[in-house]
Amino acid sequence: MEQVNRRTFMKQASAAVGVVGAAAVMPALPRALSTGGPLVAVPSQPSGVADGSKLDQPIVAHVANLETGEIHLYFGTRKVTHHDRGLAAQLYKATK
């Protein structure tokens, strides 16, 4: 098993946070990444994020189970569990 240090963990966590944030803002991102086609930022539905919203702390995503799509999101002192097999697969692919 590969040794994980703080720097490596932070790099990987930052990449995962970026992917999760982008997927939340742009609903077409997972489809575009899976097909390798061009990314078109024309959402067909509202993203649910108000214009001008800013993060005051990082969000860390942990893919707990790739098969079921179980993803734990950590921010501040909170933890939220989300199930999305497609997003879990995209986060996994982003690490390769």
59-85 confidence digits (pLDDT tens):
899 999 999 999 999 988 889 999 999
Give all strands (DSSP E) within the chain, no chain letters: 60-65, 70-75, 78-83
- Average pLDDT of the residues in 40-54: 63
This prediction has a pTM of 0.49
Q: Which residues does residue 81 pair with via DSSP β-bridges, in sequence order?
A: 72
CA neighbor of 73 nearest in space, from 62, 83, 89, 84: 62
pLDDT score recorded for residue 70: 94
Alpha-carbon gap, residue 81 to 48, rounded angstroms:
18
